[in-house]
Amino acid sequence: MIFPAPLRPARLVRRYKRFLADVDIDGEIAVAHCPNPGAMLGLDMPGLEVLLSESANPLRKLRHTLELVRLPSGLVGINTGLPNRLAEEAIRAGRIPELAGYERIRREVRYGRNSRVDLVLERDGNPPCYVEVKNVHLRRDAGPYPSAAEFPDCVTARGAKHLVELAAMVAAGARAVMLFIVQRTDCDHFRVAADLDPSYAAGLAAATAAGVEAICYACHITEEAIEVDRGLPVML
């Protein structure tokens, strides 16, 4: 995924109300959209360099959107709206071998109890594959597994609900995959942050025991583009 226009550097002043961030752009304070409902642990510290996309729509209330945070270990993508697109691009390009061989991809398909699954992969003569995609941006240098990409970074009841519905698809004869997309380059494996959300950890363990597959891929990130490029071991 190539950013449609060059990103603009700024300094984070504060992040607040979940979806808002004050940023310093060349000495002027502006309010930017922060497209991330999570805790953003380690990524919302005042003074961090951030990179912003800029909307050309004059009717948009907030002109800038926070896309990347620069850490000493590299760039981190915090836009939770991107992983579905990143995953679809990677599947179509054959960069996720576990999800190769399907002829069609459908997005945002209704399933379960009043839910939508991110992607459904289909091939004539085969069961459909339901794919739920989650953005991963957490790594804790002082945590129990310092080199791990972790999910979630706060309690996610919605995420736990998706696991139950994926397991139900397996029971109905379909294939179901929980796909974690890591928008950072400094991790060597994936783990569930069980101390931050024990219910999600238990839910993922139950889902995988029921036949849901858990796979994880990390991204190559530059100021110009983000691309899924390598698998990470999933340690459950």
Q: Are residues 112 and 164 in the same domain?
A: yes
Across the range 2-25, mean pLDDT stands at: 96
> Which structural domain, as residue segments, surrounds residue 25?
8-77
User: What is the number of domains present in the chain?
Assistant: 2
Q: Are residues 59 and 98 in the same domain?
A: no
Q: Are residues 111 and 126 in the same domain?
A: yes
Query: Domain holding 91: CATH number?
Result: 3.40.1350.60
pLDDT, residue 58, reads: 82
Please provide the average confidence, as pLDDT, over all residues in the chain: 96
Please give the span between the terminal C-alpha atoms of the chain, in angstroms, as a whole number: 30
Which of 77, 101, 133 terminates a domain? The answer is 77
pLDDT in tens, 52-85: 999 988 888 999 999 999 999 999 999 999 999 9
pLDDT, residue 114, reads: 78
- CA 167 – CA 187 distance, rounded (Å): 28
Q: Are residues 172 and 111 in the same domain?
A: yes
